[in-house]
A and B are shown apart, each in its own frame.
Chain A
Amino acid sequence: MALRMGQGTIAFALTELRVQLHEGLAIATSMIVQVVLLVFVVILAPSLLPYALLGAVVYSVFQLGQRIQNEAAFIRIDHKLNELYHASSLSAEGYFLGLSLGVLLAYLPPVVILLLLIELLAPLTAVSALVLTAVVALVWLFTCALGYIISTLFRDMRAIWPYASLLTNFFGVLPPVFYPIGLLPGYWHPIALAIPSSAAVVLVEAAQGGLVHLSNLEIAYAATSLTVEALALFGFAVYWARVTARER
């Protein structure tokens, strides 16, 4: 009966995937903001489409944190299923990772559709595709950590909902995710490059060449910020998952 941690985590991820796949409408509507913004861009400023497409991919991944936040809170507050899993051989870290992976797998199809659109309308070079993969992975680490941590802070589902839209808009819409960083005054750049979502988009744009003009120092700053923030928050979330598996 000894648990192989990987097996438990994958099994829980598949459980969560199965649960999420019943929410087909939620998966489909997760694209609404991206599609609406893309339509606006096509109508108002078609030249910005490559930026908006990359932004839509990063936004879609960033949005997973909101799903994780709501799902983890719902399982804990409404179903009490966290107790079923925490008092078992599935580790607290395995629970957090399984939940995050399950939500990721369920919400991958919209991201794949966006990638296909990019391939059709504004193809990436091999290097920028690699950079996109790396930054998307880092954004996922950041957002699932943020979502899970926030989910543990409340005892009432209704108290959590405002934070979901607040964070998604703060990280996904406000900074230069859907629009070029060049449209922001220069003094905002250090802040924009320190925000994981906009840093991720800017790095891909820089790798693609011609989409954004940044100094090497700014690129290094964005890459370092994104990497450090993602890894640090994810590390903290793993620790936090363990801490919150037992109430005080």
Chain B
Amino acid sequence: MAEEALVAEDVRKRYVSRGAPPTDALRGVSLRIDKGERVGLLGRNGAGKTTFLRIVSTLLIPSSGSVRVFGRDAIADPDAVRSMLAVVPQEGKPFFHLTPREQVYSYLRARGFTRETARFRSEEALGQMGLMEIADRLSITLSGGQRQRTMVATVIATEAPLMFLDEPTIGMDPFARREVWASLRRLTAKGCTILLTTHYLDEAENLAQRLSVIERGKVLVEGTGESLKRRAGGTIRVSITGGEKLGPELESFGLLIPDGSALHVVTSPERVQEILGLAVRAGLPASVGPVTLEEAFLRVVGRSIDEEG
């Protein structure tokens, strides 16, 4: 049996503030992550992702529930687990008056690394994040994406056994995002465990071996990207330009997603021919492709919203 890096059970968080009704940010979230896994936490804004991440990273006390990090109780004894953690906070920024090189190195030193290890690890992380050219520029002069890369470099340089990354690639260009993905893959190959949140569904699909979708403080679906797509009602998407005209006829084939002038039909492979036949008879251009995780996410979360009203 694989070693469990994180076991969170029935974690609940109720925010109580004067003059406002209490808010249940988490309503019983459970999650298990094995050592060396990369798990993605998905959800709409305000679904509870960051609250959960802050609880499991010992930064927020839950109202109830349990969190164990490598078998140790992270709620009762946070000090016992903190040395095993590293966190990229949401919207975090490096010190404006440090360079990326100084930022990463000094953080490693504060974590207790020797000068030699801190120097080696910081150079390695800066290289992986493509920051070498700007490593000696003050962070205040860097772009938002470069600052975010500095934050990620700071954390991956620790090679902490369990890392939490809250929207780690926000503001990054597609090249930089792929550098982050490659670095995170390298880390899990070394045995590190990663839990990340993201709103980029392609990122989740490419990077996470397992996904957990949170909606209104509860886990809605858990599994691989493929299993999430299957739950959406089909694995194939037929896109018909001007397909709105066929709307009523297409309803029985699966999920319909309007997208500008096109209409996407999420369906099963065996029904594709019938849909294409309808499009051809109507003289409408159509194309076929796999369902994206984003479409599956919209379907699964949207269905939950409809059900809960």
At the interface with chain B, which of A16-24, A124-132, A197-205?
A: A16-24
Q: What A residues does B90 contact at CB under 8 A?
A: 80
| A90 lies within 8 A of B111 (CB) | yes
A89 sits at the interface (CB 8 A)? yes
Let me know if B110 and A8 touch, CB within 8 A: yes
Q: Are B61 and A247 in contact (CB under 8 A)?
A: yes
Q: Is A158 interfacial (CB-CB < 8 Å)? A: no
Candidate in B91, B93, B110, B111 with the most chain A CB atoms within 10 angstroms: B110
Which stretch (B78-86, B188-196, B219-227, B298-306) binds chain A? B78-86
Digit string of B73-111 for contact with A (CB within 8 Å is 1, else 0)? Answer: 000001100110111111111111110001000110111
Q: Are B92 and A18 in contact (CB under 8 A)?
A: no
Instruction: List residues of chain B with CB within 8 A of the CB of A215.
Output: none
Please state if A15 and B106 are interface contacts (CB–CB under 8 Å): yes
The answer to whether the Cβ of B60 comes within 8 Å of any Cβ in the partner chain is yes
What residues of chain B lie closer than 8 Å to A81, measured between beta carbons? 89, 92-95
CA distance A177 to B57 in the complex (A): 46
Q: Check A78 for interface membership: any CB of B closer than 8 A.
A: yes
Min C-beta distance of B69 to chain A, whole Å: 11
Q: Are B93 and A78 in contact (CB under 8 A)?
A: yes
Task: Tell me which residues across on chain B come within 8 A of A65, comparing CB atoms.
Answer: none
Any A CB within 8 A of the CB of B70: no
CB of B182 within 8 Å of the partner chain: no
Which residues of A from 1 to 28 have beta carbons under 8 Å from B?
A: 1-4, 7-8, 11-12, 14-15, 18-19, 22-23
A interface bracket (residues with beta carbon within 8 Å of B): 20 to 34
Query: Is residue B276 within 8 Å, beta carbon to beta carbon, of the partner chain?
Result: no
Say yes or no: A8 contacts B111, CB within 8 Å. yes
Q: Is the CB of A89 within 8 A of B82?
A: yes
Complex contacts, B107 vs chain A, CB 8 Å: 15, 84-85
* B155 interfacial contact with A, CB 8 Å: yes
A225 located at the interface, meaning its Cβ lies under 8 Å from any Cβ of chain B in the complex: no
Is the CB–CB distance between A88 and B106 below 8 Å? no
Whole-angstrom CA separation of A84 from B97 in the bound complex: 17
- Shortest beta-carbon distance from A92 to chain B in Å: 9
Is B112 interfacial (CB 8 A cutoff)? yes
Contact across chains for A84 and B85 when beta carbons are under 8 A apart: no
CA separation between A78 and B107, bound complex, in Å? 18
B35 at the interface (CB under 8 A from A): no
Residues of B contacting A4 in the complex (Cβ-Cβ under 8 angstroms) = 112
* Any B CB within 8 A of the CB of A98: yes
A75 vs B107: C-alpha distance when bound (angstroms): 14
> Is B97's CB under 8 angstroms from A23's CB?
yes
**A89 contacts B111, C-beta separation under 8 Å:** yes
Closest to A13 in B: B110
Chain A nearest CB, measured from B26 CB (Å): 14
Contacting residues, chain B, for A189 (C-beta < 8 A): none
B253 at the interface (CB under 8 A from A): no
B89: which of A84, A89, A91 is its contact (CB, 8 Å)? A84
A14, B95: Cβ atoms closer than 8 Å: no
Quick one: given A8-B112, A23-B97, A79-B95, are A247 and B87 in contact (CB under 8 Å)? no
A223 CB to nearest B CB, Å: 36
Does A87 touch B at the CB level, under 8 Å? Answer: yes
A7 to B113, CA, bound (A): 9
B37 to chain A, nearest CB (A): 19
Q: A3-B83, A22-B138, A246-B59 are in contact. Are A85 and B110 (CB under 8 A)?
A: yes
Asked whether B27 is an interface residue with its Cβ less than 8 Å from the other chain, the reply is no
* Pair B82/A87 contact, Cβ less than 8 Å: yes
Q: Determine whether B54 belongs to the interface, using a CB cutoff of 8 Å to chain A.
A: yes
**A84 and B83 in contact, given A1-B112, A15-B98, A78-B93 (Cβ under 8 angstroms):** no
The reply to whether B138 and A98 contact each other, CB–CB distance below 8 Å, is no
The verdict on B66 contacting chain A, using a C-beta distance below 8 Å, is no
Query: How close is A205's CB to chain B, nearest CB, in angstroms?
Result: 39
* B292 interfacial by beta-carbon distance below 8 Å: no
Q: Do residues A246 and B58 form an inter-chain contact, with CB atoms below 8 A?
A: yes
Q: A15-B110, A89-B112, A246-B78 are in contact. Are A80 and B92 (CB under 8 A)?
A: yes
The answer to whether A88 touches B97 (Cβ under 8 A) is: no
Among A1, A19, A86, A88, max chain B CB count under 10 A is at: A88
Cβ-based interface call for A83 (8 A): yes
23 A-B residue contacts at CB 8 Å? A1-B83, A1-B111, A1-B112, A8-B109, A8-B111, A8-B112, A12-B110, A15-B106, A18-B102, A19-B98, A22-B97, A75-B95, A78-B93, A80-B93, A81-B93, A81-B94, A87-B85, A87-B164, A88-B82, A88-B87, A91-B79, A246-B58, A247-B61
**Top 3 A-B pairs, shortest CB-CB distance:** A3-B112, A22-B97, A11-B109
Which chain B residues have a beta carbon within 8 Å of chain A's beta carbons? 54, 57-61, 78-79, 82-83, 85-98, 102, 106-107, 109-113, 138, 151, 154-155, 158, 160, 164
18 new A-B contacts at CB < 8 Å, known A15-B102, A81-B95, A89-B82: A1-B83, A1-B111, A7-B109, A8-B111, A15-B106, A15-B109, A23-B97, A79-B95, A81-B93, A83-B57, A83-B59, A84-B107, A84-B151, A85-B110, A88-B85, A88-B110, A89-B83, A247-B60
